[in-house]
Amino acid sequence: ASFIMIGTGNPEEGELRPQLLDRFGLYVEINTVADPDLRLQLALNRTAYDLNPEEFYASAREDQEALKEKLLKAKALVKEVQVDRDLRIKISTVCSLLDIDGIRGDMVVVRTAKAFAAFDGRTEVTEDDVGRIIGLCLGHRTRKDPLDPLGGVMKVNAVFKRIFKDGLTYEAVRGMQAKSQPGKGGDDKKKEEGAEEDGKEGRGGLKPGQWRGLK
């Protein structure tokens, strides 16, 4: 694309429809800074800007120019960045386990990982690169379940760990997901088996033909 759109929104005012959220490549949750030192620095920066904007710009110009130069180098390098097929398979596995609709999520993760590696001056994507950015790419694409205690990004990171760090297969994680769902877990299976056993027993809790003892 020849341009980049950055949008902001307040979730308390309502969620966007999934088909619209899917059009956004990256999603970042912004919270109020809690660290006292950072809060103080932000307040001092704002005060300095209000007192003398030009002087404030001048004080930040060197850092901004360095960042600009780094971004330009990354933009030129990103075309040379390679992503191993095994990493691509794992990325698509995570997307599949999260029930991400379409393949846009898969593509965004790969592109963002390549950009992150280029920004770091490298031409090969690593698992750590994927781990750093995958939550930003998929957090808003996960299906919203009001009964699920895990948020989108937390859910993405949990599945990422299972596939990338623990080395589990698609089938293994699917099995774990099935067991964690109500009515499909091992406890429910045991209850069903117990109910069948109870059904085989006669009145008084005895199986058919079992001796009741002397009265």
- Spatial contact of 18 and 139, defined as CB atoms under 8 Å apart: no
Q: Which residues contact 182 (CB under 8 A, 6 or more apart)?
A: 188
Angle of helix 104-119 relative to helix 85-97, nearest 10 degrees, comes to 130
203 is catalytic: no
Within its chain, how far is the Cα of 169 from the centroid?
18
Out of 46, 85, 104, 122, which one is annotated catalytic? 104
- Spatial contact of 116 and 86, defined as CB atoms under 8 Å apart: no
Compute the distance between CA of residue 173 and CA of residue 180 in angstroms, rounded to an integer. Answer: 11
CA torsion sign for 196, 201, 206, 207 is negative
Residues counted in the chain: 215
Which residue numbers are catalytic? 104
